[in-house]
Amino acid sequence: MADNAVECRLEPRIEILDDDQVLARAAGQDTEAAGRLYDKYYGRIFAYVYHCTLDRTAAEDLTSCVFLAAFTHLGRFRWQQTPFGAWLYRIATNEVRTFYRKRRSARQVRLVCVRDVTARAAPSADEGPAVTEEYRLMHQALLQLRPKYRLVIILRYYEDKTMAEISEITGAREGTVKSHLHRGLLRLQEILTQQGVLPE
Q: How many CB atoms lie within 10 A of CB 169?
A: 26
Are 141 and 105 in a shared domain?
no
Q: Do 119 and 80 have their domain in common? A: no
CB distance 167 to 139 below 8 Å: no
* Cβ neighbours, 10 Å, residue 171: 11
CA distance 84 to 11: 28
Please check whether residues 106 and 117 belong to one and the same domain: no
Mark whether 145 and 97 lie in a shared domain.
no
**Total domains in the fold of the chain:** 2
Tell me, yes or no, whether 29 and 104 share the same domain. Answer: yes
Same domain, 166 and 105: no
The pLDDT tens digits along the chain (200 residues) read 445 444 444 444 444 456 777 777 776 677 887 888 888 889 999 999 998 888 888 899 999 999 888 888 777 665 556 788 888 998 999 999 888 887 765 433 333 333 333 333 444 545 554 446 667 778 888 888 898 899 898 898 888 889 999 998 888 899 999 999 888 888 888 888 887 766 66
- Asked whether the beta carbons of 52 and 150 are under 8 A apart, the reply is yes
| Single-letter code of the amino acid located at 33 | A
In whole angstroms, give the CA distance from residue 83 to residue 27.
16
Helix-strand-coil split of the chain, %, nearest 5: 75, 0, 25
Contacts of 149 (CB under 8 A, 6+ apart): 180, 181, 183, 184, 187, 188
Q: Which residues contact 163 (CB under 8 A, 6 or more apart)?
A: 156, 174, 177, 178, 181
What contacts 69, CB < 8 A, 6 or more positions away? Answer: 91, 95
The residues, any chain, with a CB within 8 Å of residue 178's CB and separated by 6 or more, are 163
Report CA-CA distances (Å) from 11 to 5, 7, 8: 14, 12, 10
* Residue 117 and residue 86 share a domain: no
Query: Does residue 167 fall inside a structural domain?
Result: yes
10 within some domain? no
* Same domain, residue pair 200 and 127: yes
Q: Are 106 and 81 in contact, with CB atoms under 8 Å apart? A: no
Structural domain of 69: 19-110
- Asked whether residue 106 is assigned to any structural domain, the reply reads yes
- Counting beta carbons within 10 angstroms of the beta carbon of residue 15, is it exposed (0 to 12), middle (13 to 18) or buried (19 or more)? exposed
CATH number at residue 106: 1.10.1740.10
Give tens-digit pLDDT for 159-197.
Answer: 888 999 999 888 889 999 999 988 888 888 888 888 776
- pLDDT score for 95: 92
Could you tell me the pTM of the whole model?
0.64
